[in-house]
Amino acid sequence: MSQSTPQSPQSPREPFGARLRRAMDARGPLCVGIDPHASLLSSWGLGDDVAGLEGFTRTVVEALADRVAVFKPQSAFFERFGSRGIAVLERAVADLRDAGALVVMDAKRGDIGSTMAAYAETYLREGAPLFSDALTVSPYLGYGSLKPAVDLARETGTGLFVLALTSNPEGAEVQRAVRTDDPAGRTIGATMLAHLARDNADETPMGSFGAVVGATLGDLSSYDLDINGPLLAPGIGAQGATPADLPAVFGAAVRNVVPNVSRGVLRHGPDAAALREAAERYADEVRAAVTA
């Protein structure tokens, strides 16, 4: 992972997939989650309050924003402090993007019609206070329910990460369920991957509509992960997966993996040098694994 000087983010009109590929090639294939949960604030010697949240977030941003390709703030950990917590999140998103990093807002929004459109406007409309480069979304009201977000992402050059095969054990009861209405007998997760492949068709260097696929899931060779789009892979570090596991899990699609590490990096704070060293180590390990 190479250090980059602060710069304005690339034009949001350029598709997210192209900007993501360039960012990972330049800074290393790593996404750092910003998850300020109470136990982590405590381990940093901070209070479980807005001041602690602000101190934590500012430290992460100042230490890593100019050298990590992608950040994934978990919105819930900011929302729990109300409007003052959201203000901290707004500032973090702006500062990260000003430093040239890409921001994936982990809000897992999902609804229908005008409500889904309002969620899309919140995160994907340029000029909105929480405008991000991409948003995590839940498709379990039907993939078609995401159309307002898909349409706005195309318009603004942003992206989506759709929950497809998540790392939590409970996800299997939905995502690996076989559709009785599908002549091919596909699972729900496979259906989501097929929708994404369609929406990414013919895009270069890759599409802007990605899937969330857990790095802890082991052999996924029965699923077609070649969606011509990014694969956001939680589970590395505290959840037990390692960068060396990625080729076995993702196969030929491994180069499009965006590995997410949260506690594996954040536990080294509040020392800025230790945070940078941990992030650089993970990025180097991922690069070695996916280019072997």
Active site residues: 108
* Distance in angstroms (rounded) separating the CA atoms of residues 93 and 273: 22
Instruction: State the sign of the Cα–Cα–Cα–Cα dihedral 77, 82, 86, 88.
Output: negative
* Distance in angstroms (rounded) separating the CA atoms of residues 148 and 285: 37
Question: DSSP alpha helices (H): ranges in the chain?
Answer: 16-27, 38-43, 50-64, 75-79, 82-98, 113-124, 147-156, 172-175, 188-199, 246-250, 263-266, 272-291
* Distance in angstroms (rounded) separating the CA atoms of residues 203 and 67: 27
Burial class (CB in 10 A: 0-12, 13-18, 19+), 228: buried
Residue type, position 241, single letter:
A
